Chain A
Amino acid sequence: MSGQAKEAPPRRPPFGLSGEAWLRILAPTIIGLLVLGGWEWVVRVHDIPPYVLPGPVLIAETLVRDWTPLSASLLVTLKITALALLVAASLGLLLAVLFAQSRVVELSLFPYAVILQVTPIVAIAPLIIIWVNDITLSLLICAWIVAFFPILSNTTVGLNSTDHNLLDLFRLYRASRWQVLWRLRLPSAMPYFLSGLRISGGLALIGAIVAEFVAGTGGSASGLAYRILEAGYQLQIPRMFAALVLVSVTGIAIFLALSLVSHLLLRRWHESAMGHGERR
C-alpha cells in the first residue's frame, strides 16, 4: 500500500550518547571530587586529629586494611537485606493479588498494613528482638516490615488501575478470572510493582541496619551496623567512617541494580523506561 513510509515507527535518539547524558555523569562526579579534595585539604591544613574527623584518604586506607572483617559484615548485612526484600516482594505481590481479587480481604487487612508502616521501626525492633530468640531472624523481620509496604501499596494501585477498555475487551471474550489476572492485571501492575521494589530495596537496607543498631549485639555473624557501633566504642573513627561508606555504597548499588532490572523488564513498552531525555 502506498504511503506506508508515513506510518513507519518513530525512532528514538541513541541511548546514553547525548550531551545531556554526559552532563548527568560528569557534573556529579566533579562535585564529588571537589568536596572530597576540600575535605582532605581542611583536615590536613588544620591538623584535625583522626578521632575527630578522618580525611578521605585515611578512610580509604582503613577500608583496604580492615577489608576482611568489614567485608564479612557487609556480606551479613547484604544477606539480611536481600532475604528481607525477597520475602517482602513475594508476600507483597501475593497479598496485593489477594486484595485485587477480594474487596473484603482488602478492606479488612489494609489498615493493618498501614499500621505496620507508620509505626517507627526503632520502636518495634526491641520487642521483636525480645520475642524472637534468633537475632538474624529478628533483623530479617525488621527489614521486612520496612520493605513490605511500598511493594504492597504500589502493586495494589497497579492492579486496580488497569485500563477499563481492556477489561471490557477481556469481558467481551469471556476471559476467566485467572486469565484477566495473569494476562491483564499483573502485566499492567508490573511498572508499579517495580517502582515499589526500587523504594523497598533501600528501605530493607535501612531496616536491617536500624534493627542491628537496636539489637547492638556482636558475635561471629555481625553486620555493618555492629561494626559502626564497635568502632565508635573503641574510638576507631576512621573505621567507623569506612563502615559508613560501605553502607552508603551498598544502598546506591541496590538502587542501581533494581533500576537496571526495572529498565530491562520495561524498556520495550513502558514510558518510564524510555531514554533519559524523555524522563523528568
Chain B
Amino acid sequence: MSAAPLVSLRAVAKRYATGTLAVRGVDLDIDAGDFVALLGPSGCGKSTLLRMVAGLAAPTGGSILWPGGAAAAKDIGFVFQEPTLMPWATALANVALPLELAGMGRAEAAERAAAMLARVELKGFEAAYPRALSGGMRMRVSIARALVTRPRLLMMDEPFAALDEITRFRLNNDLLRLWEAERFTVLFVTHSVFESVYLARRIVVMAARPGRIEADLPIDAAYPRGEDFRTSAAYAAHCRGVSQALGHAMAVHAG
C-alpha cells in the first residue's frame, strides 16, 4: 500500500561479548514519518536495538536495511536518557556541535543552533552553561541538538524517564508539536504505557530473554493530541490494551 519503509530490520540478533543474547529474531519495518514507541520490561533489549539502528553497535545476526539508500543511515538524531551535554560548552555551542562536526562554518552553525533553541522554547538561554539549567531545560537542549541537523529519523532512549511528571507532560507536548510540524520519523523507547499511548501512532511491545517483539499495536487516535486525549475514554482503552500486551509479554518470560 505505501512506499518502502525508512528502515527494515530483518531477523536482527545481538549477542554481546559476555555471551548475553540481548535480542533475537527481530523483524521490524519503520515507515517514514511514523511515530513508533518501543515498550518493554527492563533488559529486553530496547537500548540495544536502538543502538544497532543508530550504527553504534553491530548486529551479530540478521541485517538492517535502508531501502531509501545508505545516506538515510547517517541522517539520524539521538537523544539519550541523560541530557548528555558537554558541561564546558554553552547551550548554543552544544546544539551547534553536530553542525560543526559536519564541517559547517561557525557563524552559520550558531545561527541555526539559535533558531533550534528557540523552537524548543529556550530563547534567551543561548549563553547558559548546562549546570545553570534545570533538568527539563537540559533535556530540551539535548532535543534541539538531535534535531538541529534536520534528521529523517529521531531516536530517543527513555528521554524523559528522569524528569518529574509535570515537566515530562510538557516535553511530551512539545515533542508532538515539533513532530507534527516537521514529520520526521520517531523511534521512542519508554517504560511507560501511558507515555507511549499518548505519543505514538504505533507501539511495539517487546519481551525479554532473549529480547523479541511480542506485539505490534496501532494507536489510531488523531493528532494533534492534547490534554483532552489524556483524559478520554479512547486513551484509557488503548492503555488497557497495551498493558495487557505488556503483561502477556512479561508472563511469557516468567513461564
Question: Which of B51, B101, B130 lies in contact with A269, CB distance below 8 A?
Answer: B130
Return chain B residues, CB-CB under 8 Å to A269: 87-88, 129-131
Does any Cβ of A come within 8 Å of B128's Cβ?
Answer: yes
Cβ-defined contact, A172 with B54, below 8 A: yes
Cβ-defined contact, B55 with A268, below 8 A: no
Return chain A residues, CB-CB under 8 Å to B137: 7
Cβ-defined contact, B136 with A7, below 8 A: yes
A/B pair count, beta carbons within 8 Å: 63
- Interface 9-residue window, one of A91-99, A163-171, A192-200, A220-228: A163-171
Does any Cβ of B come within 8 Å of A4's Cβ?
Answer: yes
Return chain B residues, CB-CB under 8 Å to A15: none
A-contact bits for B115-140, CB 8 A (1 contact / 0 none): 00000010000001111111011000
Cβ-defined contact, A169 with B84, below 8 A: yes
A-contact bits for B53-89, CB 8 A (1 contact / 0 none): 0111000000000000000001010101010101111
Return chain B residues, CB-CB under 8 Å to A33: none
Cβ-defined contact, B87 with A4, below 8 A: no
Cβ-defined contact, A165 with B80, below 8 A: yes
Does any Cβ of A come within 8 Å of B98's Cβ?
Answer: yes
Does any Cβ of A come within 8 Å of B17's Cβ?
Answer: no
- Interface 9-residue window, one of A81-89, A146-154, A173-181: A173-181
Does any Cβ of A come within 8 Å of B170's Cβ?
Answer: yes
Q: How far is the CA of A183 from the CA of B86 in the complex (A)?
A: 9
Q: How far is the CA of A235 from the CA of B4 in the complex (A)?
A: 95
Return chain A residues, CB-CB under 8 Å to B131: 268-269
Total interface residues on B, CB under 8 Å, equals 30
Does any Cβ of B come within 8 Å of A9's Cβ?
Answer: yes
Q: How far is the CA of A184 from the CA of B88 in the complex (A)?
A: 10
Does any Cβ of A come within 8 Å of B233's Cβ?
Answer: no
Does any Cβ of B come within 8 Å of A187's Cβ?
Answer: yes
Return chain B residues, CB-CB under 8 Å to A10: 132, 134
Does any Cβ of B come within 8 Å of A190's Cβ?
Answer: yes
Return chain B residues, CB-CB under 8 Å to A187: 86, 88-89
Cβ-defined contact, A172 with B56, below 8 A: yes
Does any Cβ of A come within 8 Å of B102's Cβ?
Answer: yes
Cβ-defined contact, A170 with B88, below 8 A: no
Question: Which of A4, A165, A190 lies in contact with B88, CB distance below 8 A?
Answer: A190
Cβ-defined contact, B98 with A173, below 8 A: yes
Return chain B residues, CB-CB under 8 Å to A175: 101
Q: How far is the CA of A6 from the CA of B101 in the complex (A)?
A: 33
Cβ-defined contact, A184 with B87, below 8 A: no
A-contact bits for B176-195, CB 8 A (1 contact / 0 none): 00000000000000000000
Cβ-defined contact, A169 with B78, below 8 A: yes
Cβ-defined contact, B121 with A165, below 8 A: no
Cβ-defined contact, A173 with B102, below 8 A: yes
B-contact bits for A261-280, CB 8 A (1 contact / 0 none): 00000001110000000000
Q: How far is the CA of A165 from the CA of B102 in the complex (A)?
A: 19
Cβ-defined contact, A9 with B132, below 8 A: yes
Q: How far is the CA of A168 from the CA of B128 in the complex (A)?
A: 24
Q: A9-B133, A172-B56 are in contact. Are A165 and B74 (CB under 8 A)?
A: no
Which of chain A's residues 4-24 have a Cβ closer than 8 Å to chain B? Answer: 4, 6-10
Cβ-defined contact, B134 with A9, below 8 A: yes
Cβ distance B40 to chain A, nearest Cβ, rounded Å: 21
Does any Cβ of B come within 8 Å of A111's Cβ?
Answer: no
A-contact bits for B90-119, CB 8 A (1 contact / 0 none): 000000011001100000000000000000
Does any Cβ of B come within 8 Å of A49's Cβ?
Answer: no
A-contact bits for B128-160, CB 8 A (1 contact / 0 none): 111111101100000000000000000000000
Q: A9-B134, A172-B55, A172-B56 are in contact. Are A3 and B170 (CB under 8 A)?
A: yes
Question: Which of B76, B84, B170 lies in contact with A163, CB distance below 8 A?
Answer: B84
Return chain A residues, CB-CB under 8 Å to B98: 173
Return chain B residues, CB-CB under 8 Å to A165: 80, 82, 84
Cβ-defined contact, B78 with A270, below 8 A: no
Cβ-defined contact, A173 with B101, below 8 A: yes
Cβ distance A97 to chain B, nearest Cβ, rounded Å: 17
Return chain A residues, CB-CB under 8 Å to B74: 174
**Closest residue of chain B to A3, judged by CB?**
B170
B interface with A by C-beta (< 8 Å): 51, 54-56, 74, 76, 78, 80, 82, 84, 86-89, 97-98, 101-102, 121, 128-134, 136-137, 167, 170
A interface with B by C-beta (< 8 Å): 1, 3-4, 6-10, 163, 165-166, 168-175, 179, 183-184, 187, 190, 268-270
Given contacts A169-B78, A269-B88, 15 further A-B contacts (CB under 8 A): A7-B134, A7-B137, A9-B128, A9-B132, A165-B80, A166-B86, A172-B78, A174-B101, A175-B101, A183-B86, A184-B86, A187-B88, A190-B88, A269-B87, A270-B87
Give 10 pairs: A residue, B residue, CB < 8 Å, sorted on A: A8-B134, A9-B128, A166-B86, A168-B51, A168-B56, A173-B102, A174-B101, A183-B86, A183-B97, A268-B131
